[in-house]
Structure 1
Amino acid sequence: MAMAGGGGLNRSSSRGQMPPQELLDDLCSRFLLNVPKEELESFERILFLLEQAHWFYEDNSVEHNPNLKSLSFKDFTSLMFKSCTALRPYIAHLDDIYKDFNNYKFRVPVSGAIILDDTYERCLLVKGWKAGASWSFPRGKRNKDEEDHTCAVREVLEETGCDVSTLLNLDDYIEVSIGQQKVRLYIITGVKRDTVFAPQTKKEISEISWHRIDDLLPASDDAVSRGVNGMKLYMVAPFLTGLKAWIATHPPVLYQKSEASARGLFCSLMHPLCSGLQKLYVL
């Protein structure tokens, strides 16, 4: 299923009204002041909470009130530090805090899934919301104390609307390190190609569709981030070698059934001949 979607928000809109203090106070109370204390022990955790507040602001407040100004996460964070009493003392250090947070995000482990059709010839990819976004397997960052497989199920459900909890095998996964980030993708089979997919989150996924694995292989040794069809495959290419190796040792169930049927047909055809030869031998 392919999904049409507009471009994402790369920067703050130059139009619209700034959010009123009442709304900022509500966001501060909802996402910061009423969370467990351990969630406020580091600026990394605080900015993760502010990230959720930003999504809520964009997906709900701005969507329901078009007069509100759309903000980038950096501008939203700055506004919250200025508006929230608990954060205001640290406003002078915001640039360093924001920089450290971005570095931290690239170290948080990621989990997701490689979903194959019943022939193992196609896999499901999702495309990000922002303009120029690349394709990837459905995946996302692990929450604090979250298991890899739990994160994978959650992220696949959020990005595709497909619940793979009963299809996930803990032993079937491919794990690579991209920079300082560990990425583990579980291999999921048994998903029908006519399954209807729809993201459960707003403004995150613009398209969901099946793609032939052979078309995703790098066009050349120098084009590891683009497939033969020109698709951006930065988050796909590192897993293709491992995926092909896994498929080579795990024939699809459809193939196994066809092979078994062929053997059965062969035996049924050969049985009369074998019986005749046996009688001749006895005689």
Structure 2
Amino acid sequence: MAVGAPLEEERGARAAGAVYVFPEGGPTPAASARRPRAYRATAKWATVSATPWRSAPLPDGRLRLLVGAPDERKDGTGQQLGRGGAGHAGSVTLIDEVRAERYQALKFDGASEECAYGAAVAHLPGDRWAVTAPRCGTLQVNGTSGPVRTVSCQACAGSLSALAVSPDGRLAVAWGDSAVVLVPDDEEGVRDQVVPTLPGGNWPVAFYGSKLVFGRPRDTPPLTVTVHDPATGTAEEVAIEGGTGDVEGVGEALG
């Protein structure tokens, strides 16, 4: 189990962030003596507003972990001092085997100083992974040899972003009021599906079988999420029970 701690301090570095990896079977009373291992971010004074992570087994059995640090500054290696006016380029770190004695990791920096590369990350079948840079409205799909596809939505630049992957390998990217479902490359003749703007917006997103669920965190009660069927183009508002007090919408995180 991996747990993100986006604003954790690290040896005096404010909001450096961390991801803790718990061993199998823990944390439980039987495993209380087994301390979690921590992967530390290096974004000193680059406020990590989110630390998305995703883990997935590779075909050879390795357990890879993706860690995004979208607010990391592009101002050198090691501790990021946040000087010189550098913007939030962001980064993604791939830890190739989280069960290894020593971590072997690759770090990928965002190309632009303001794009927040790594705001959302996801594993895909075929040893691929996807990452968003929402401040520039970009989704990048990467393979073992580098980027294999880039999807841009200039009208979405500056929006929040979310990714979801279905069991058959479809990838959904949500940008505020826009969303697209990308189909696997081996499905010839099938085009990417554009999801129309739905009540409450199209962010965040999760797959529910062949359907999509969109949260509505900005709504006021009554509390609902939107379930969209790409096959028919229909959408349904589903009420969420149990909300009390001054709740402002539900579904900021979905899974």
Instruction: Normalising by structure 2, report the TM-score.
Output: 0.28
Quick check: which one's strand share is greater? 2
Quick check: which one's helix share is greater? 1
Instruction: Normalising by structure 1, report the TM-score.
Output: 0.26
Max Rg structure: 1
